[in-house]
Each structure stands twice: as C-alpha cells, then as structure tokens.
A = this chain, B = another copy of it.
Amino acid sequence: MTVAPELPNPDDLGRPWSVGEPTPESGWLSDEDLAEARGRLPMVYVDAVPVRVDASGDVVSVGLLLRMDSSGFTRALVGGRVNYHERIRDALVRHIEKDLGPMALPQIPSSPQPFTVAEYFPTPGITPFHDVRQHAVSLAYVVPVAGDCHPSQTALDFDWITPEEACSDVVQAAFVNGQGTLVKQALHWCGRV
C-alpha cells in the first residue's frame, strides 16, 4: 500500500525548524508566506462533489454547502488546499472531515485519476473557474458519502439536492468561482443529466 506520510524529518526538508514555526498542520506556511506565494505560484487544490448513491452506484443526490459571504448566500463544494507533504487522498479525507464532520464516511476514490482538473485563475474568463485570491489547480473527484454530514462552522448548512436541482438556474446562480460548472461536469461524467 502507498503510505500516508508522517511528519517529515526536518533533515528531509533541507532546513531546521523550531517552536513557533509553521507546523505541518498549518501546511508549513505562515499566513504571510502563503499570501505572498499565492501571487507567484499555482496552488494545488482538491474539489470533492459529495453524492449519495443507490445500491447500483447511481447518483441519487448531490451535497452542497451553504455559505454566507459579502455577496450573500452562496453554494459551495467541499475541498481546499493540498498541504506540503500531503497525499491527494489524505487531503480529500481532511477537507471532507473539516467540511462535513467526522461521521460522513466518504468513499475516497481508489484511483488518483480525477474526473477533471479545474483551473481557477485570478483573471476571469480564461476558464470557467475564477479565484480572485490565486491561481489554483484543483483535482476534482466525485465522492460517495454514506454517513451523517454536519457542516463545520465555516458553513451555515449542508443540503442534499437532486442532480436536476443542482443543475437548475436558481441553484447554479448561487455558486461562485464557477463551481456550478464543476457540479455539472461531475454529473455529466456520472451520466446523470
């Protein structure tokens, strides 16, 4: 089996570190360093489209976070940044647990092949995806979730809706950064259209 990485040995990183420094949990980066890097390097992200499936694997519903930001209520997918020295599959587990709680029981894909790669640019219009903060390259996966989902404090709510609702104009209009397109891509890939 491939091995979940332990905290790397400082010697492996070619640099010492000490108390007070960014920890592995922080993604090895201070907020200042991260802000600076975001203007200079593409960030590695994962996007997960949580789905409920029936006994034959067919998608029954899609799970969407409800958030409140400056533009009002918005819909969002589960996901976030991949940390230094973190496997893609471990980042998926971490972000799903962070956004949906510890009882979600996600079925992480056995292959690293994503259904697509979403390229979020700080400049709008280059791709369907946009992130004013940064250039993010996001590996996107459909993740069946079998357990109970409880949104974290960063979200107001988490709702299961039908694929048809998820593609409806009203729900699509609630997404930001083009994630509505990513949901459609996921559902088309699943044959649920």
Hey, which bits of chain A sit against chain B, CB under 8 A? Answer: 1-5, 8-9, 12-15, 22, 27-29, 33, 37, 39-44, 51, 53-60, 82-90, 92-93, 107-117, 119, 121-123, 125-128, 135, 137, 139, 142, 144, 163, 181, 184-185, 188-193
Contacts of A85 in B (CB 8 A): 42, 121-123, 135
Q: A113-B114, A127-B87 are in contact. Are A40 and B58 (CB under 8 A)?
A: no
On whether the beta carbons of B22 and A110 are closer than 8 Å, the reply is no
Q: How far is the CB of A79 from chain B (nearest CB, A)?
A: 14
Given the complex of chains A and B, what is the CA–CA distance between A65 and B87 in angstroms? 28
On whether the beta carbons of B42 and A126 are closer than 8 Å, the reply is no
